[in-house]
Structure 1
Amino acid sequence: MNTNLMSMFITFAKIGAFTLGGGYAMVPIMEKEIVDRKQWLTHEEFMDILIVAQSTPGLFAINMASHIGNKARGVVGGIIGSLGVALPSIVAILLIAMFFRAFKENVYIEKIFMGVRPAVVALIAAPCFSMARTAKITLYNAWIPIVACILITAFGVSPIWIILVAGVLGFLWGRIKPQDDSKL
């Protein structure tokens, strides 16, 4: 795949600039751009990178951009992707810092955010359905993400521990009871 570095930078800069909420809210936009439009990755490669990016320390959006860029164009692509996705946020933070006092108690800005916050929740939740299909979540194994969510939200268990334990248990289960993936 011969991906133009300037095109990569612009793509990630657009993703970074037009995604309110950052992080997981970027997933559906990244998937549409990277998988559907640009075809830099397959859906499966994208989901694999999503899992790695989530379990890698650091900012999620940067992790996604660096892994996608690296997959498409090597180390330079990873750097370009990271810079592209981060630049709009850096510029926005600088502008907000310059005008913070003027907007701090602006009733109109607060009302805008009252509408934006619930929309961001939907943007974060939407990729879960796509990920569930890719991960082959069924009635048989749906308890795993449910228990993981409860452990993380109710008991403060680190997602890293969840991933490690689930990986070990999945490996052991596969050794004890090998099964045909087509039945899931």
Structure 2
Amino acid sequence: MRMLVTGTASAMVAIAAVSGLVGCSSTPGNTSATTSAQTVGMDASWAEAYNNLGDLKAHSAVAVRGSFTRVIGQSSIKTIPVTDFEFTVEQVVHDPGNIVAVGAKLTVRQTGGLVDGVLHQTDDDPLFKVSEQAVLFLKQPEPGLFYVIGGPSGRFEVANGKVTPFAPGGVKFTGTTAEFAAAVRNS
């Protein structure tokens, strides 16, 4: 089963010919949204993709480094499953509006989730994992709720103090977290 998902500037709005996804169940407190015997991939066509830090910075409300601490819950928007994750901020990389602070726990929404024991996720932007460390460029469509801009191009992996792009076609960068923060500041 394949679905077509199209992203927009305000949020990822899904257009799909999918039935049977309305029964998404909430899983607050779970440590993983990705434990499933079967996975169904969703294809996405991102309305916005970014290939440099300056564009990411210009189009985001905030950029933060931290880790995913838990799954808050799952629901659906127009039959498309979404999962809300708690993200604990360890460093504010970019925040012109003073929206967040170190130690803040943000709710980050991502398209995909478990439906009747089957994992639905976008092929090039798989669901976050609890304890995963990342740098995220975020928009805030409503108070207290965030989403990553540009899908996988606004998401960076952090491992052993190094930052690397999640998306192979996204921003080209490899360096320490301090070097990344400086590159964003100077972009």
Rg bigger for which structure? Answer: 1
TM-score using structure 1 length? 0.24
Q: What TM-score results when the alignment is normalised by the length of structure 2?
A: 0.24
Whose strand fraction is larger, Structure 1's or Structure 2's? 2
Please state which structure has a larger fraction of its residues in helix: 1
